[in-house]
Structure 1
Amino acid sequence: MFLSRRLLVSASSVLALSATAIHAAPASPADIAKADARAAATVRQMTGEEKVVLTHGIMPLPLAGPVPGMPADAIPGAGYIAGIERLGIPALKETDASLGVSYVMGIRKDGATALPSGVAQAASWNPDLLYRGGAMIGSEARAKGFNVLLAGGVNLMRDPRNGRTFEYLAEDPLLSGMLVGAAIRGIQSNNIISTIKHFALNGQETGRKYVDVKIDEGAARESDLLAFQIGIEQGQPGSVMCAYNRVWGEQACANDWLLNKVLKQAWGYKGFVMSDWGAVPNIEAALKGLDQQSGEQLDPGVFFADKLKEKAASDPAYKARLDDMNRRILTAIYASGLDKAPATPGGKIDFAANAQVAEEVAKQGIVLLKNDGALPLAKSARSIAIIGGYADGAVLSGAGSSQVHGEGGPAVVRPVGGKGVWAGFIAQQYHRSSPMDAIQELAKDAKVTFRDGRYIADAVEKARQSEVAIVFATQWQTEGLDVPDLSLPDGQDELIAAVAAANPRTIVVLETGGPVKMPWLDKVAGVIEAWYPGARGGPAIASVLFGDTNPSGRLPLTFPKDESQLPRPRLDGSDWVEPDFSGNPSSGSDKLVSDYDIEGSDVGYRWFARKGQKALFPFGHGLSYTTFESSGLKVKGLAASFTVKNTGQRAGDDVAQVYLVSRNGQARQRLVAFQRVSLAPGASKSVTVTFDPRILADYRNGGWVMGGGEYAFALGKDAENLSAPVKVKLAAKKWKD
């Protein structure tokens, strides 16, 4: 239910945040009831003209020239919905995105604090940390005058080649839903609205505006839709943003099953549905559940203004729907306090404090994938060769609408090609944070040298001369384009292999949007996955390399050995759909279908378990500079208890994971609980977790069915390394949403 649960956050969740943040408590059911009643009363006061004010808006960005009729109070950003001064209704001023206030190519002449990528945040497995990150970016959005943040990306990672993998969180619905809910709570603590997006089954950028997703309803409800459902319950977002793709032949933003039957009727969602930009096919989308047309100049027409008013004047169905659209938008405005605590431009931002939040997120999200004893590096090292990745001055970021930059803009820009405004929009860009400088700061007496890696022979010679070689390898992703495969581009695989042959103490630092193949893995001494590490990526990486930070990240998605292990070894449409950021169908391309029935609800590690495949690195994997042991699993009903002990010599954090492994003798792997635990050397902690029954159940015939019988659970270091199972009898149960 929209805003149906009052969820408390720990006091530590608001540490190191900007002093300008408000941190309002989540609205209670009573609060939402009052907001809804107030919204209904306001709708009754609205004229026919006023009823189509909140239902549509523009993209106030002069990307291709001046925007006709740009309102005086509009802020250059993603969207603008006019307010109604007579009724005290504020304009909605919208900005992207989940990783910080978007840069929009520097049009506003300002900067913002860039969080690490979504998948990096998820690698922390820490809801409190995502709350802190959400509260931080929400405070910066508010200080810039925005009151709607287009954040909350939670689409499951069905294909790691998806160009927006870096924006999303995980391949598991429980982990994704819990984390996105925490981030949304943080954002909305600033008296601004957050979205959750892109609803739903938005799994690729190739043909993104017309690819038709085929999936059984039960499988959808047990996977992608469950992630959204948990995220809405936990985060209580004011708005849901629908997706570009089709589902069962209907556009997601005009999909009666998704928007009406599932979201509003089954889940009882009381907020409003906004379209993605350029995703509205026609006026009938209003009857199908869409409440607001966003970025209207990108659509085939402006449907939710005069045309909607005319329909409402002559058709009772549209008249009732228009009132409901306004009531939903107003409920979100009132519940979030946009009218009583207006956001105004010019607020103070404590960039130093916010950078510390970004750095902590990066540290907790870095994953130590391999360590043959070379890590942590000694600060007494005499010579260190740093190779590749622009690591002398920058760290990689993902591109598209979520692109964020600090003051001064990007440190490096690599054009991708093409012409027009979108060519600049998706250029490869790097944040101003130098791993090399941070490494030199920690290894003060070392001779630290850099080679860009363009010439392998040059890099090899420098590696041979040095005590340690650190190769920074990058894989760039962007909204609008998928990656063709999981290799490292620009000959980096060959570079790594050659450097490792020259220096046995070669460490690889991956700055990637998601999984990559590693043909050189057996040749290197260590690998850390740093993802896109954000505004303070350089110091975070150095801190992990030298052991000031004990790595504690765990993979939120599976790293396959190669594409043959994926449900679709070839990305649907990648061999014949011409890349096009606008995503408009070309001849025959509107027949593009993506068959998710292949894996159904068995996304990621569940697919690997079903097929009996071993991954390159499994979901949940992550090493540490200490060792942990989880033991004593006991299960009673829908609760479990166990003990986690630090059996090593360093303080560190473990991520305890509990999996369902079988049901009535049939293998069925599901993550059912997780908890991040901080322990001193030799210390132990008792942990108690509860299970969401939906994770144990099937969705059949319009409801959840949990069969009675024997369920087996196991503790996991990751999805492949599991303890002996503990079996328990559970009673049968059936229920609706």
Structure 2
Amino acid sequence: MARGSTTALVGAAAVTLLASAGASQEGGTRPSAARARADRIVAQMTLDEKIALVHGLFPPMAAGKTREELIPSAGHIDGLPRLGIPIVRESDASLGVANQVEQRKGDVATALPSSLATAASFDPATARAGGAMIGAEARAKRFNVLLAGGVNLTRDPWNGRNFEYLGEDPLLAGEMAGAHIAGVQSNRIVSTVKHFALNAQETGRMVADARIGEAALRMSDLLAFQIAIEKGRPGSVMCAYNKVNGDWACENDFLLNKVLKRDWGYPGWVMSDWGGVHSTAKAVTAGLDQQSGQELDRALYLGAPLKDAVQKGQVPVGRLDDMVARYLTGLIETGAYDAPPPAAAQPINYGRNADVAQAAAEAGIVLLKNENGVLPIARTARRIVVIGGNADVGVLSGGGSSQVRSVGGAPVEIPLAYGGSASFARITYHASSPLAALRRALPDARIDYLDGRNLSATLAAASQADLAIIFATQWTTEADDVPNLRLPDHQDALIAAVAGVQPRTVAVLETGGPVLMPWIDKVPAVVQAWYPGQRGGEAIANILSGRVNPSGRLPITYPADEKQPVRPLPIGLNRVAASDPAVYGIVQAESFPIDYVEGADVGYRWYERKRLKPLFPFGHGLSYTSFRYAAPVVTGGRTLTVTLDVINTGERAGADVPQVYVAREGSTAPMRLAAFRRVELKPGETKRVTLTAEPRVIADYDTRLPGWRIAAGRYRVAVGRDATDRSLVSTVTMAAATMKP
């Protein structure tokens, strides 16, 4: 499968949205060939046939509700053979074809590293390759709709699902999600984009009311979705559990009708999240097209109640026709309609796919700190001690619906006794041992392992070694937020103690996102490995040994202390009752508000606005080589471009990620990431690159237009290696411009 361009930019032409690809006639645009074909099919259907296509089963709870084979998975919608409409089988698939608690006994799949790790590559080609791999495995396993494409921005570092998403910046998240979706759909299957919108925490996710102004929402979370939809053209959009400004996301007229379908001209269908439907007439009138996993809702709202509402004239027949036509359009445009899933499972080249997962992990691992050249591990290090993190057997993965039963099995798997995810998540490791991989990479060294539980033995071993590598873990999961940003189980104390006896200590973090590092001044080298996937051990060993030069960049800000984030603790932490394990981890509680006071200033923008110095800024990442920028030329007018030389001034091949940040001169608004590119360079090599700014990042959203407005005048342009780098700043004049929503 073609990997696509490594350029992560959006030009002004990209502002032309999907309306030309075929919105419904209700939007006033000319229907696409796919929509016209869908309309012809709908015209031949009975009312009952239409109703049957706008709700789907949750296979684990749907025995006896269909004559078709129910593959244990996320969802199932019967086909309509007389009209050639294929059966639809849906699987969770953020990081691979999921099989969370082994519903399908013995069925394994390739596990990518966490999405946050992929985002850290700053490389859409990496995201696309991962999506293409997942899509190919899904088709081979007889699935044709994947619940992938998570693009919710990281507003709070303690969100338990941050590892599934793509960081805090709308341009980066949108570009990476779009590439991943396009990769999935290259296999003629559907990918969703999710969760639309503002599903930014897991505590009380079923009842939380996200509150934010329209302009701020358009310039942050919605911009990420907009770019992802433009780039990836997903067949379906999944609406979120939570409320947005008072209305449930799955019956939110502003989000679904006004933004998605009218302003963006989106032609596909809106499916609900599992357990996210609350009404019949209101939901479908507001833009919901399909009820997913009907057994998880309080009622089958889009079944008999919808039929009754249509017959009584409470829901127009035309609206039901539009719902079905959108569903068929999404299938037709992606190729899923004409290429139904195979009748039997197909062979999969798991070895080749594991290489894709390992490449993604290596591209996304971030070298946070490296004093005195502790890394890469010198060949003179004869005695190394590896400590903790179950590094002798595997690497940690995140929990929830994205959990993959990876090739090689799970050497560690711990069931949960309580919590929102207890019914569908386990603390699970992939069978990829960093210890074994290090021993292969460094055959001349003696490498011992201690689990860290015996502190005296651990410190004695560390003090006698040439180098200590301590693996620290933080498990995070869907349906539960972490209570704080500290490493659990006294790991901070262990790291500090080891560093106290061994000056050459390396901390390797397998976490779902940022953690505090009270020991940072004592530890000379820190590596952020995220959840590195099924070849994570090999990827970590290659980075530590220097076989691979680290090139990841942080897609998320690391706070210096717990007071720096906008909200220091999960909102509603004490308001949410324990979930009923029999209801798929769904938490029922009273609704509560979340006021996103930061507005569009998410992540690094908040830190700049409040003049806070983070522990590590967005975009940060070190290398074993060095880079220099030279001869920059910044041009303005109607399009902002930056052309510069990127020079590898070191002795190793490596990758750099020049980043362009923009703000209007005289404005108090923080600078925003407007363009980036990953550049691969040999030692001494120079490449001249041009970065074109995304115009909607330069613009502000004006609700009076409505649309995007670039004010004429001077703009500050910073080219740097992270969001705080102001070593190369210039000004440029931009012409006034407006763009449609």
Which residue matches 1:735?
Answer: 739
- The answer to whether structure 1 residue 10 and structure 2 residue 4 are counterparts is yes
1: CA distance, partners of 2:423 / 2:250: 27
Structure 2 counterpart SS, 1:574: coil
User: Residue 370 of structure 1: CA displacement?
Assistant: 0.4
User: Residue 270 of structure 1: CA displacement?
Assistant: 0.5
User: Residue 578 of structure 1: CA displacement?
Assistant: 3.2
- The answer to whether structure 1 residue 417 and structure 2 residue 412 are counterparts is no
Contact 1:634 1:726 in 2 (8 A): no
Q: Deviations over 1:265-297 (max 9, x none)?
A: 111101000000000001121111100000000
User: Residue 723 of structure 1: CA displacement?
Assistant: 2.3
Query: Aligned letter for 2:715?
Result: Y
What aligned pairs does 1:217-236 form with structure 2 within 5 A after superposition? 217-236=214-233
Contact 1:135 1:190 in 2 (8 A): yes
What aligned pairs does 1:472-491 form with structure 2 within 5 A after superposition? 472-491=471-490
Structure 1 counterpart SS, 2:657: strand
User: Residue 562 of structure 1: CA displacement?
Assistant: 1.8
Which residue matches 1:393?
Answer: 393
Which residue matches 1:83?
Answer: 79
The alpha-carbon distance between structure 1 residues 28 and 12, as it changes in their structure 2 partners (threshold 3 A), is: farther
2: CA distance, partners of 1:258 / 1:240: 11
User: Residue 511 of structure 1: CA displacement?
Assistant: 0.2
Q: Deviations over 1:141-192 (max 9, x none)?
A: 0000000010000000000100100000010000000000000000000000
2: CA distance, partners of 1:662 / 1:647: 33
Contact 2:391 2:434 in 1 (8 A): yes
Which residue matches 1:121?
Answer: 118
2: CA distance, partners of 1:651 / 1:30: 45
Contact 2:3 2:129 in 1 (8 A): no
What aligned pairs does 1:6-45 form with structure 2 within 5 A after superposition? 10=4, 29=21, 33-45=32-44
Contact 1:197 1:243 in 2 (8 A): yes
1: CA distance, partners of 2:394 / 2:100: 19
Which residue matches 1:542?
Answer: 541
User: Residue 106 of structure 1: CA displacement?
Assistant: 1.4
Which residue matches 2:285?
Answer: 287
Which residue matches 1:703?
Answer: 707
1: CA distance, partners of 2:20 / 2:695: 24
User: Residue 458 of structure 1: CA displacement?
Assistant: 2.4
Which residue matches 1:374?
Answer: 374
Query: Aligned letter for 1:585?
Result: Q
Which residue matches 2:65?
Answer: 69
Contact 1:214 1:595 in 2 (8 A): yes
Counterpart among 711, 714, 720 of residue 716 in structure 1: 720
Q: Superposition RMSD on alpha carbons, in Å?
A: 2.0
Which residue matches 1:688?
Answer: 690
Structure 2 counterpart SS, 1:673: strand
Structure 2 counterpart SS, 1:496: helix
Query: Aligned letter for 1:74?
Result: L
Contact 2:19 2:265 in 1 (8 A): no
Which residue matches 1:17?
Answer: none
1: CA distance, partners of 2:6 / 2:122: 16
Q: Deviations over 1:54-82 (max 9, x none)?
A: 100111125xxx73425432221100011
Which residue matches 2:326?
Answer: 328
Structure 2 counterpart SS, 1:104: coil
Worse-superposed segment, 342-351 or 247-256? 342-351
Contact 2:408 2:430 in 1 (8 A): no
1: CA distance, partners of 2:229 / 2:6: 23
User: Residue 378 of structure 1: CA displacement?
Assistant: 2.2
What aligned pairs does 1:328-367 form with structure 2 within 5 A after superposition? 328-344=326-342, 345-367=344-366
User: Residue 569 of structure 1: CA displacement?
Assistant: 1.9
2: CA distance, partners of 1:231 / 1:317: 31
Contact 1:381 1:443 in 2 (8 A): no
The alpha-carbon distance between structure 1 residues 261 and 12, as it changes in their structure 2 partners (threshold 3 A), is: closer
Contact 1:219 1:600 in 2 (8 A): yes
Structure 1 counterpart SS, 2:659: strand
Count of residue pairs brought into register by the alignment:
711
Contact 1:652 1:679 in 2 (8 A): yes
1: CA distance, partners of 2:226 / 2:406: 34
Contact 2:289 2:323 in 1 (8 A): yes
Contact 2:99 2:404 in 1 (8 A): yes
Contact 2:6 2:124 in 1 (8 A): no
User: Residue 384 of structure 1: CA displacement?
Assistant: 1.1
Query: Aligned letter for 1:708?
Result: A
What aligned pairs does 1:459-538 form with structure 2 within 5 A after superposition? 459-538=458-537
Structure 2 counterpart SS, 1:327: helix
The alpha-carbon distance between structure 1 residues 408 and 69, as it changes in their structure 2 partners (threshold 3 A), is: farther
Structure 2 counterpart SS, 1:115: coil
Query: Aligned letter for 1:472?
Result: F
Contact 1:43 1:323 in 2 (8 A): yes
Structure 2 counterpart SS, 1:425: coil
User: Residue 424 of structure 1: CA displacement?
Assistant: 5.0
Query: Aligned letter for 2:734?
Result: L
Structure 2 counterpart SS, 1:715: strand
User: Residue 575 of structure 1: CA displacement?
Assistant: 3.3
Structure 1 counterpart SS, 2:670: strand
Which residue matches 1:609?
Answer: 608
What aligned pairs does 1:155-166 form with structure 2 within 5 A after superposition? 155-166=152-163
1: CA distance, partners of 2:632 / 2:182: 31
User: Residue 445 of structure 1: CA displacement?
Assistant: 2.2
2: CA distance, partners of 1:282 / 1:12: 44
Contact 1:481 1:579 in 2 (8 A): no
Which residue matches 1:98?
Answer: 94
The alpha-carbon distance between structure 1 residues 467 and 579, as it changes in their structure 2 partners (threshold 3 A), is: farther
Which residue matches 1:191?
Answer: 188
Counterpart among 111, 117, 132 of residue 108 in structure 2: 111
Worse-superposed segment, 272-281 or 75-84? 75-84
The alpha-carbon distance between structure 1 residues 364 and 136, as it changes in their structure 2 partners (threshold 3 A), is: same
Contact 2:499 2:523 in 1 (8 A): yes
- The answer to whether structure 1 residue 725 and structure 2 residue 708 are counterparts is no
Which residue matches 1:648?
Answer: 650
TM-score (norm 1): 0.94
The alpha-carbon distance between structure 1 residues 35 and 620, as it changes in their structure 2 partners (threshold 3 A), is: same
1: CA distance, partners of 2:512 / 2:460: 30
Structure 1 counterpart SS, 2:531: coil
The alpha-carbon distance between structure 1 residues 103 and 715, as it changes in their structure 2 partners (threshold 3 A), is: same
2: CA distance, partners of 1:9 / 1:411: 33
Structure 2 counterpart SS, 1:630: strand
Worse-superposed segment, 302-311 or 572-581? 572-581
2: CA distance, partners of 1:102 / 1:666: 45
Identity %: 53
2: CA distance, partners of 1:346 / 1:533: 27
Query: Aligned letter for 2:691?
Result: V
User: Residue 415 of structure 1: CA displacement?
Assistant: 3.1
TM-score (norm 2): 0.93
Query: Aligned letter for 1:321?
Result: R
Q: Deviations over 1:508-565 (max 9, x none)?
A: 0000000000000111120000000001000000000010000000000000012211
Unaligned runs of 5+ in 2: 8-17, 24-30
Query: Aligned letter for 2:572?
Result: G
User: Residue 645 of structure 1: CA displacement?
Assistant: 0.6
The alpha-carbon distance between structure 1 residues 557 and 223, as it changes in their structure 2 partners (threshold 3 A), is: same
Contact 1:662 1:668 in 2 (8 A): no
2: CA distance, partners of 1:544 / 1:27: 45
2: CA distance, partners of 1:384 / 1:51: 65
Contact 2:576 2:587 in 1 (8 A): no
Q: Deviations over 1:413-463 (max 9, x none)?
A: 1233239x9525222110010000000001112221111112322221221
Counterpart among 131, 141, 146 of residue 143 in structure 2: 146
